[in-house]
């Protein structure tokens, strides 16, 4: 009996160490992504301006923005398949996970290739130079650049499904790290070619070639890490695609709501108050969200572990993971908000060089909106991890649209602070909606959840193999 007890304790210790190790690696790999994004943004812009000049770089920005609309061609199936596969693997259903993997891959491949084919037929017949007011390239060159970049997007779509394979088999960290490094590699190579005198077409081809090589390597690494996952048509199933279609649409509805919020508020403020107010509101909102990408790290790192916990039927573990993810997110958003509350005016004046007045009231409301947004956005990973997020995603898109109406009413009376209040009201309402849903899914009470947010855990004891409530 003693040997059995010791064996059980060793197994629990091993499981706890494995989960803790995966979370730490996942957090590290995910945290690297915003750092690399900042390096790319801050580094590539001045280098490309130096290499091409303002006019040609402006043409590149205009042309490179258009193929991004093809990013919707994966229809959200990359994230939906990731959650589904993680739950199936945790439930020892690898055949089902393979069926999901191949079904998603077939659908994404067919749809993205169809989108590329359509683009290849249309792109030659559009007067790009006139429409976009291009100053350094003609219609034919513009069409080539657009087609090459469209092919780059289609190749990149493969990574969404491939990443689901990493997520489901405990390799989320290495998959995320590879995705980040391949983005850094392609930008570095493309920027180097531009500095050596390369044209827009040459730089676009560099993006496509680098991404193609990296995508193949990404898929081969997955085969090495998880040999049971294979690309192909054999196990693809139409019924599986139909079952994933709802969650996949939900993963489209979230960015749709975000687009309505970001672009919509710019339009509303501009229409009611003019361009100067747009600059003021946009810059204040950007500054208030300075640490938001770091907050999102916790959501993405905990996501695969939550899917596996639900797949294994371990609701207690899911409950504790949810508490700690929200706790970390809330702490970081409050700490970042407090710092920006004090230092924000100085950072803003240094950043915009006194060209726009600093609106302290609007900025403080936006900081409160970020705190509430970070809480519900992190908590929403619970329904996302089990592909049960469709209702929340659709409501969020509707709420984002409704917030524009509220902003239209408040902005003429309160200026840009009215727009900020409309944002805050929407995030407060979404927080209540999401928490009611997630607490029910993890069988938690609001009182215990709120109490857990203000407990400082020792990380080694925070995530046991079979946690208690």
Instruction: Kindly report, residue by residue over 246-299, the tens digit of the pLDDT.
Output: 888 787 788 788 878 877 888 888 889 887 888 888 889 888 988 887 788 888
pTM listed for this prediction: 0.76
**pLDDT per residue as tens digits for the range 184-233:** 999 999 999 999 999 999 999 999 999 999 999 999 999 999 999 999 88
**pLDDT per residue as tens digits for the range 403-442:** 999 999 999 999 999 999 999 999 999 999 999 999 999 9
Based on the fold, state whether residues 180 and 251 are members of the same structural domain.
no
310 found inside a domain: yes
Based on the fold, state whether residues 307 and 206 are members of the same structural domain.
no
Based on the fold, state whether residues 344 and 404 are members of the same structural domain.
yes
Q: Which of 219, 236, 253 is the last residue of a domain?
A: 236
Residue 420 has what pLDDT?
A: 95
109 found inside a domain: yes
Left (φ > 0), alpha (ψ -120 to 50) or beta: where does 133 sit? Answer: left
Based on the fold, state whether residues 248 and 210 are members of the same structural domain.
no
Based on the fold, state whether residues 215 and 252 are members of the same structural domain.
no
**pLDDT per residue as tens digits for the range 357-412:** 889 999 999 999 999 999 999 999 999 999 888 899 899 999 999 999 999 999 99
Other C-beta atoms within 10 Å of 96: how many?
A: 18
Q: How many domains does the chain have?
A: 2
Given pLDDT bands bounded at 50, 70 and 90, which one contains residue 465? very low
pLDDT for residue 462 is more than 50 = no
Residue 69 has what pLDDT?
A: 59
Left (φ > 0), alpha (ψ -120 to 50) or beta: where does 341 sit? Answer: alpha
349 found inside a domain: yes
Based on the fold, state whether residues 305 and 388 are members of the same structural domain.
yes
Based on the fold, state whether residues 267 and 400 are members of the same structural domain.
yes
Based on the fold, state whether residues 266 and 390 are members of the same structural domain.
yes
Tell me which residue range forms the domain holding 408: 243-455
66 found inside a domain: yes
Instruction: Tell me how far the alpha carbon of residue 292 is from its chain's centroid.
Output: 11
Other C-beta atoms within 10 Å of 135: how many?
A: 11
461 found inside a domain: no
Residue 10 has what pLDDT?
A: 43
Based on the fold, state whether residues 87 and 200 are members of the same structural domain.
yes
Given pLDDT bands bounded at 50, 70 and 90, which one contains residue 241? confident
463 found inside a domain: no
462 found inside a domain: no
Based on the fold, state whether residues 229 and 262 are members of the same structural domain.
no
Residue 75 has what pLDDT?
A: 61
Contact in structure between 269 and 419 (CB atoms under 8 Å) = yes
Based on the fold, state whether residues 220 and 288 are members of the same structural domain.
no
Based on the fold, state whether residues 184 and 251 are members of the same structural domain.
no
């Amino acid at each position: 009996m003693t040997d059995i007890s010791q064996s059980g304790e060793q197994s629990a210790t091993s499981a706890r160490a494995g989960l803790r190790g995966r979370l730490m690696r996942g957090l590290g790999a995910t945290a690297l992504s915003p750092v690399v994004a900042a390096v790319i943004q801050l580094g590539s812009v001045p280098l490309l301006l130096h290499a091409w000049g303002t006019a040609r770089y402006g043409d590149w920005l205009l042309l490179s923005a258009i193929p991004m609309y093809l990013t919707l061609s994966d229809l959200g199936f990359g994230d939906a398949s990731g959650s589904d596969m993680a739950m199936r693997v945790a439930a020892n259903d690898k055949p089902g996970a393979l069926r999901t993997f191949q079904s998603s891959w077939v659908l994404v491949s067919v749809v993205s290739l169809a989108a590329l084919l359509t683009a290849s037929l249309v792109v030659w017949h559009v007067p790009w130079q006139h429409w976009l007011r291009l100053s350094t390239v003609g219609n034919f060159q513009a069409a080539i650049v657009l087609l090459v970049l469209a092919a780059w997007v289609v190749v990149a779509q493969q990574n969404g499904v491939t990443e689901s394979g990493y997520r489901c088999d405990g390799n989320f960290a290495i998959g995320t790290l590879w995705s980040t490094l391949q983005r850094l590699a392609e930008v570095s190579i493309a920027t180097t070619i531009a500095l050596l005198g390369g044209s827009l077409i040459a730089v676009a081809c560099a993006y496509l070639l680098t991404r193609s090589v990296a995508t193949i390597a990404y898929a081969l690494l997955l085969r090495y890490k998880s040999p049971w996952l294979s690309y192909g048509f054999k196990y693809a199933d139409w019924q599986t695609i139909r079952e994933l279609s709802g969650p996949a649409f939900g993963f489209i509805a979230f960015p749709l709501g975000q687009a309505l919020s970001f672009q919509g508020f710019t339009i509303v403020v501009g229409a009611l108050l003019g361009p100067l107010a747009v600059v003021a509101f946009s810059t204040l909102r950007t500054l208030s969200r300075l640490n938001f990408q770091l907050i999102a790290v916790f959501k993405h790192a905990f996501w695969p572990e939550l899917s596996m916990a639900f797949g294994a039927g371990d609701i207690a573990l899911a409950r504790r993971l949810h508490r700690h993810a929200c706790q970390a997110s809330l702490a970081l958003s409050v700490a970042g908000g407090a710092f920006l509350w004090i230092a924000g005016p100085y950072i803003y004046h240094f950043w915009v060089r006194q060209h726009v007045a600093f609106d302290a009231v609007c900025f403080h409301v936006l900081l409160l909106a970020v705190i509430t947004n970070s809480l519900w956005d992190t908590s929403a990973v619970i329904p996302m991890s089990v592909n049960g997020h469709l209702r929340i995603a659709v409501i969020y898109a509707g709420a984002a649209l409704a917030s524009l109406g509220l902003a239209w009413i408040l902005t003429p009376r309160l200026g840009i602070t009215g727009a900020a209040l409309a944002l805050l009201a929407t995030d407060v309402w979404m927080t209540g909606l999401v928490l009611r849903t997630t607490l029910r899914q993890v069988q938690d009470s609001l009182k215990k959840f709120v109490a857990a947010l203000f407990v400082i855990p020792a990380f080694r004891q925070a995530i046991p193999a079979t946690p208690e409530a």
